[in-house]
Amino acid sequence: MTALRNLWRIPTARFALVVLAGIAFLTVFGGALAPHDPLKQYTDHVLEGPSATHWLGTDYVGRDVLSRLMSGTRLSVVGAAEAVIIGAALGVPSGLASAWLGPRLEWLTLRISDTLVILPFTVFAIAVAGTLGNGLQQAMFAIGVLISPIFFRVTRSVAMGMRRQQYVEAAELMGATEWWTLRTHIWSKVLPNVAVTFAQATGAALLVVASLSFLGLGVSPPAPTWGGMLASDLDYLAQQPWAPVFPGLLMMAAVGSLNLLADAVREATGDARRRRRSTPRTASPAQSRHEAQRQTKETARA
Amino acid sequence: MTRASSPILTPSRRGFLGLSLAAGLVLGLEACGGTSTVGGSSSAGGTGTIKWAWQLPTTWDPVTSSAGSDVQMLALTYDAITALDDQGNATPWLAEKWTYDDSGKVVTFTLRPDLKFSDGSPLDATAVAKSIERGRTQDGSLIAPQMATIKSVKADGDLDVVVELTEVDYQYPLLFAGKTGMVVNPAVFEKDADSLATQPAGSGPFTLTSYVQNDHATLKKNPNFSAADEIKVENFELYPQPDPSTAVAAARSGQFNLVRLGGAQLQQAKDAGLDVQVINTMFVSVLDVNVTMAPFDEPAVVEAMKYAIDREKLKEVAAFGVGDVSYQPFPPGYVGYNPELASIYAYDPDKSRQVLADAGLKTPIKAVFTSSGQSDAAVELTQAQLKEVGIEATIDSIPATQHTQLVYLEHSKALAYDGFAGRESPVQAFQVLFGAEGLMNPGRTTNPELDAQLEKVKRTPTDDPTYPALLQEATKIAVTSFPNTFLTLVPAVIARKGVSGLPTRPSLRRFEGVTA
């Protein structure tokens, strides 16, 4: 709760949370609240501009753009979330295990992680969709696997730092089990870093989902998605040069807010004062966390 | 400079931000704008170079070309033995005349005198006979099946090519107007046939000077072309079709001066000051139906589908009014076009529902509708129209590069949106669409009645008065008994900048007399 209170004190965090709450609302209720059936074709009103009936106009077969944006939020966001959850589910436990369960497992997980890092997101997703079939689940599984090294590295980095702390060693000497030490001393330090990574990876995944649906992969038409709408709008720029702005703005707001939130989480969970007071020669837990969070940012940006 | 003048020249941070936003807005609106005040008239030409953004061929060898549309690009570097007129009749090209003997099994093509390949070597009857022989016998030849009824080919003197057939077939003059009749220099294919994939060796109006696969081809005028005087440009550049969102801008900027457009860009091109030409073609959009796969293994579903599609709406919405509706594989004016079929499956959703009800079928009927991105709007409109009558089709998007493999070779798709580019010989078109081995007949359905009718067509000289009626009857049999669902005729929409008008032949884009 303290971390949440700290987060809310940061203006950019408040802004990001409000925007993300709006997008979450659309994700859950967008389809139900849409003024029109997002698949209904008003073929006598094709490519019309905004009007009282269609607030954001109609698309190339006369469908209501606002309704498609609202309904399309769910597929876009759920797809991204699915990929990130898969990434976290694969990356966090393996990161902890890598730091805790011996050199053989460490070597193996590092090699797998290194291999996955060199694979390009979109191309790999296209290859998986081509192999397993063109579906959202297949594409998101591929993205999730490729995101997992980010979680792996961040988790491992923090866990390694914690492992060398005197109070952890003391707990182990006093007979604490590895499981108890992980739960009590490590997980609480890893979690904020995972949260930062989660926010940033979700932003990246949103863009990948949009890119894939832009390329015609993942979601089959006529189901609306932000990327799919953007792609089809580009074919009709002569008639509606402003049309790509709407899905583009939603994407920008979602990804930008997630990045702002990630920064704010890092700021809220890091203890700046202690970092400033501590001497460079002592490696405090806060320093380890800060270093891990810095790595989180760098890894996610890479 | 005095200090007093500095504030005027140095805007504040907020002012600078405002100026930046204003400049960005102006640039953005300019980039997005569909209309232009900048002239792009044809009078600005005179470069002597045609830059044609159309497509690149799958190969520069007509024998191994795997796309029907390749004929457009191959015709830049190769000459065919005959040509087609606007009605689809064979006319002289390399051959100035042809005659069948009384049995109808021997046809002699007489070449024009003094023909030359682009390298200057003579294009005589021996070369033509060798070229035909290679096409029908070479391993991997994709035109060999069309010449299955050729028994032998030989030269008779310098100008006569004698083709002996195993059965009566008056379609060869038509067949030789396309890739099948394109003459390849024997001196090249006898030495290194593989080189033809990237280095064409023909006698057409241009010769290839450089070729970067999937990127561009550069050609120059062939002085040995038989009608070289009619070629008014010195250079020709060939590019793939640009993205619809950039096609008009590419033409305006001069990147290309001849660009293929979609219907959605037609008005934009006119507004931009480009010359726009709409040329009727043989291309017709069609639904390929595999009747061995559910639910189309039930004839009532196929019949209901034909009545359920509002082709007028497809034309209006998906093609922006360009083209026309079609219920048959040939356009009006073509000899095989049957006027009786002009509205045979006119939009009638009530009848469609009735057909399903009479067959005792329960709706919704589930189906999978494969799209390779040829026209998203047409596919989505068709899907919605089918749903109206109770056929719920899920769209399955596949890459365009997999279409031939999945739909035509593996026959693994029940329903697919596609287009038929036409063929030089109508019998050849029937074989492709409705033949037992027809590429666009995924269900491999056959109809003995159609086969018998086509035999009559083949045995009838194309200038015989009964020929049109026989062919049109074959069209009627095919359209009413096969599942292929024809939708709309698709003209070529071409934007020109500084290039004179193109000849309006429906089968082939030609450049004789075209200036740039």
- The whole-angstrom distance between A221's CA and the closest CA on chain B is 6
Q: What is the mean pLDDT of residues B106-114?
A: 96
pLDDT at B257 over 90: yes
Predicted confidence (pLDDT) per residue in B291-311, tens digit: 999 999 999 999 999 999 999
User: Tokens at residue A265, please?
Assistant: 């989480």
Whole-number pLDDT of residue B486 = 97
Report domain extents, chain A: 2-269
pLDDT at B147 over 90: yes
Q: What's the rounded Cα separation, in Å, for the pair A212 and A229? A: 12
Query: What part of A 176-235 touches B (C-beta under 8 Å)?
Result: 216-217, 220-222, 232, 234-235
Asked if B98 and B176 touch (Cβ cutoff 8 Å), the reply is no
Q: Estimate to the nearest angstrom the gap between the alpha carbon of B349 and the chain centroid.
A: 31
- Residue A222: asked if its preceding bond is cis (omega within 30°), the reply is yes
Report percent pLDDT > 70 for chain A.
Answer: 87
Q: What's the rounded Cα separation, in Å, for the pair B250 and A56? A: 29
Q: What's the rounded Cα separation, in Å, for the pair B367 and B424? A: 34
The answer, for B384 touching chain A at a CB cutoff of 8 Å, is: yes
Q: B396–A130: do the CB atoms touch at under 8 Å?
A: no
Q: Which of A41, A43, A234 comes nearest B245 by C-beta?
A: A234
Taking the C-alpha atoms of B269, B274, B275 and B280 in order, what is their torsion angle to the nearest 10 degrees?
-30
- The whole-angstrom distance between A40's CA and the closest CA on chain B is 8
Q: Kindly report the average pLDDT of chain B as a whole number.
A: 89
Q: Is the dihedral of CA B279, B234, B70, B453 positive or negative?
A: positive
Q: What is the mean pLDDT of residues B497-508?
A: 89
Whole-number pLDDT of residue B41 = 37
Q: What is the mean pLDDT of residues A127-134?
A: 74
What is the pLDDT confidence band of residue A278, given thresholds at 50, 70 and 90?
Answer: very low
Query: What part of A 99-118 touches B (C-beta under 8 Å)?
Result: none
Among the four given CATH numbers 4.10.110.10, 3.10.20.440, 1.10.3470.10, 1.10.3720.10, the one describing domain A2-269: 1.10.3720.10
- The whole-angstrom distance between B406's CA and the closest CA on chain A is 13
Q: B377–A61: do the CB atoms touch at under 8 Å?
A: yes
- The whole-angstrom distance between A241's CA and the closest CA on chain B is 5
Asked if B458 and B451 touch (Cβ cutoff 8 Å), the reply is no
Q: How far is CA B36 from CA B40, B246, B500, in A?
A: 9, 15, 21
Whole-number pLDDT of residue B507 = 82
pLDDT at A188 over 50: yes
Q: What is the mean pLDDT of residues B2-13?
A: 42
Report percent pLDDT > 90 for chain A.
Answer: 37
Q: A61–B384: do the CB atoms touch at under 8 Å?
A: yes
Contacts of B262 in chain A (CB under 8 A): 235
The answer, for B396 touching chain A at a CB cutoff of 8 Å, is: yes
Of the candidates B145, B413, B428, which has an alpha carbon nearest to the alpha carbon of residue B282?
A: B428
Q: What is the mean pLDDT of residues B62-79?
A: 92
Task: Give ipTM to 2 decimals.
Answer: 0.79
Helix ranges restricted to H, B221-373: 244-253, 266-271, 299-308, 311-313, 349-358
Predicted confidence (pLDDT) per residue in B351-407, tens digit: 999 999 999 999 899 999 999 888 899 999 999 999 999 999 999 888 787 888 889
Q: Which residue has the higher pLDDT, A265 or B474?
A: B474
* Whether this model's pTM surpasses 0.95: no
Contacts of B394 in chain A (CB under 8 A): 220
Q: Which of B33, B264, B267 comes nearest A241 by C-beta?
A: B33
Contacts of A235 in chain B (CB under 8 A): 244-245, 262, 264, 376
Predicted confidence (pLDDT) per residue in A232-252, tens digit: 888 898 889 999 999 999 989
Contacts of B36 in chain A (CB under 8 A): none
Asked if A157 and A113 touch (Cβ cutoff 8 Å), the reply is no
Determine how β-strand B492-496 pairs with β-strand B275-279: antiparallel
Q: What is the mean pLDDT of residues B72-100?
A: 94
Query: What part of A 58-87 touches B (C-beta under 8 Å)?
Result: 60-62
Q: B245–A39: do the CB atoms touch at under 8 Å?
A: no
How is A12-53 classified by DSSP, letter by letter? HHHHHHHHHHHHHHHHHHHHHH-SS-TT---TTSTT----SS
Q: What's the rounded Cα separation, in Å, for the pair A9 and A271? A: 15
pLDDT at B496 over 60: yes
Q: B313–A216: do the CB atoms touch at under 8 Å?
A: no
Backbone angles phi, psi at A23, to 5 degrees: -70, -35
- The whole-angstrom distance between A132's CA and the closest CA on chain B is 13
